[in-house]
Chains A and B, each alone.
Chain A
């Protein structure tokens, strides 16, 4: 039965929702507006809302100084590569945990999740030394591996949650129909879990795209992604605010667009299983 909601309540909720949305969006809006201002206007003591003199020179400047396209390419390689690698490892792992659990499965899941609670800086030195010895510092391979590792618990947890919703009878039917494990996963499990796998993929691309700690620490010139690109524009001195905004805008634009176009999928994926 539909619940009766008064007009006042509905207006109240609508205003509150818009206010929260604007609050969350305001930094992005500020970056967007500042990117088109001159440096002088960006730091003016009486700040302007809209650019008084609309300029594109910041974009040219950041491309000239630190090659946006190379960093963007690195970001794509690392975020997509680490997500695909994570799915290749995560799908069989989540299958095992969801459909062939042992007494220790819950413990393993909790342990994986607990690694996300540890501050990254806690393992910085060992990881740095391992990367140095394996010659993985400032390489796309190294960055892809570390991104896969830090996001793997989330990938496995999400997939595990989706897989748990799939009736085991259907997988057993596939086994009875002559499907070996590989066919069971490829022809039955994966197509049925497409919404879950898609939202796992999207979320992990976003997480890897936005990751800054490991990217800045483990890369310098060659394998730096867009987060390293932005950080190179933050400087304690000089006129940099408009350029930093332009760099930020360039860095977040692709992922913002991707999020915008896939928001339905993301919301569906993130609330999957919440309501039967």
Chain B
């Protein structure tokens, strides 16, 4: 079991309020991602759940039991840190065995679980090495191994892949997702990378300035963003926003169109916006065009990779009328 409930949790550091008031319910076995820009309080929220920070107010329930005041050691959670946080003076074997030693497990049990974790994570041939003799990816695997052997109620990941290079990050992302499917244990994963959030999560919590902007499945967030912040944060490249008279035509304070929801042509059509291509980023499969639209500003358009445009070309953009997002003055979706 591993359900986690936060009830009106608040956190301040002195005068500075980091988390004004958050309530969340995370179901047993769910993979939940906390995502948001730097300084939005996502890591603090994770540390509050872990018990590494004290709450200023509110209640944290693990499997229905009040753990607000319990020290981290008693919460039965495991955490994987951004810096890996391996014990440098211990071998990989001792690193993985450490939580079991703390739990006073028998030697046979420790050996069995360490071997199992090492096999699962392809670490068997590195068990007698020290962390400094491992690559970044291997270190992260050891950190995950150390978390697995505890058989925790839930895993907490604090930006675990941000120190890895791009290719390794994609691999580890898959490995963690597979691990979740295999273990079916609750996982909370903090990241600022919305691609990680979209690809890994069952549900995503979008945080901004310590508040939950939206909590839902990745596709919910993409298709039905609750507000302008979520609409802008989820999706890559980010949504284009238009204010003023053009938005008023749709009875909104502002409207948003995703880069992939435009029809692009080189000849004028009814209802189109005219612009000039600024930069064309060609990725092979796709091309991202940054178009300066007359009277509306810079817009990003996703088009297929075979299209060839160059700087200064005139283009006409037609937003897909069924996929225009409308927002009121407060930024809420209409």
Contacts and interface: CB of A to CB of B under 8 A. Distances in A.
A136 interface: no
Contact of A172 (B81, B99, B103): B81
A192 B89 contact: yes
Given A170-B87, A172-B52, A188-B87, A177 B81 contact: no
A220 B210 CA distance: 68
A194 B72 CA distance: 26
A194 B99 CA distance: 22
B146 A177 contact: yes
A195 B149 CA distance: 31
Interface stretch (A61-69, A152-160, A178-186): A178-186
Contacts of A174: 87, 98
B114 interface: no
B146 A175 contact: no
B102 A173 contact: no
A89 to B, nearest CB: 24
B88 interface: yes
Contacts of A173: 79, 81, 85-87, 143, 146
Given A169-B81, A180-B73, A183-B102, A175 B52 contact: yes
Given A172-B81, A173-B79, A178 B87 contact: no
B58 interface: no
Nearest to B156: A176
Nearest to A170: B85
Interface SS of chain A: helix, strand, loop or mixed? helix
Contacts of A178: 73, 99, 102-103, 150
Interface in B51-92: 51-52, 71-73, 77-79, 81-83, 85-89
B59 to A, nearest CB: 21
B50 interface: yes
A191 interface: yes
Contact of B89 (A169, A177, A191): A191
A103 to B, nearest CB: 9
B306 to A, nearest CB: 47
A167 interface: yes
Contact of B71 (A167, A175, A188, A191): A175
Nearest to B98: A177
Contacts, number: 62
A192 B72 contact: no
Contacts of A167: 83, 85
A27 B59 CA distance: 69
Nearest to B152: A176
A176 B52 CA distance: 8
Given A177-B98, A178-B103, A172 B150 contact: no
Interface size class of B (residues with CB under 8 A): 20 to 34
A191 B82 CA distance: 23
A169 B72 contact: no
Given A177-B146, A178-B150, A180-B73, A172 B102 contact: no
Contact of A177 (B52, B82, B88, B102): B102
Contacts of B146: 173, 177
A176 B87 contact: no
A176 B102 contact: no
A169 B84 CA distance: 8
B54 to A, nearest CB: 12
Nearest to B72: A175
A65 to B, nearest CB: 50
Contacts of A176: 50, 52, 72-73, 77-79, 156
Contacts of A179: 73, 98, 102
Nearest to A193: B89
A158 B72 CA distance: 29
Nearest to A178: B102
B219 to A, nearest CB: 32
Contacts of B89: 191-192, 194
Nearest to B14: A103
Contact of B83 (A169, A177, A180, A183): A169
B113 to A, nearest CB: 13
A172 B85 contact: yes
Contacts of A180: 71, 73
Contacts of B51: 175
Q: Most chain-B Cβ atoms within 10 A of its Cβ — which of A174, A178, A180? A: A178
A121 B115 CA distance: 63
A24 to B, nearest CB: 36
A175 B82 CA distance: 16
B62 to A, nearest CB: 14
Pick the 5 closest A-B CB pairs, nearest first. A173-B85, A178-B102, A177-B99, A169-B85, A175-B72
Given A173-B146, A177-B99, A178-B99, 5 more contacts: A170-B85, A172-B81, A173-B79, A173-B143, A174-B98
15 contacts: A169-B85, A170-B86, A172-B79, A172-B81, A173-B85, A173-B86, A173-B87, A173-B143, A174-B98, A177-B102, A177-B146, A178-B99, A179-B98, A179-B102, A188-B87
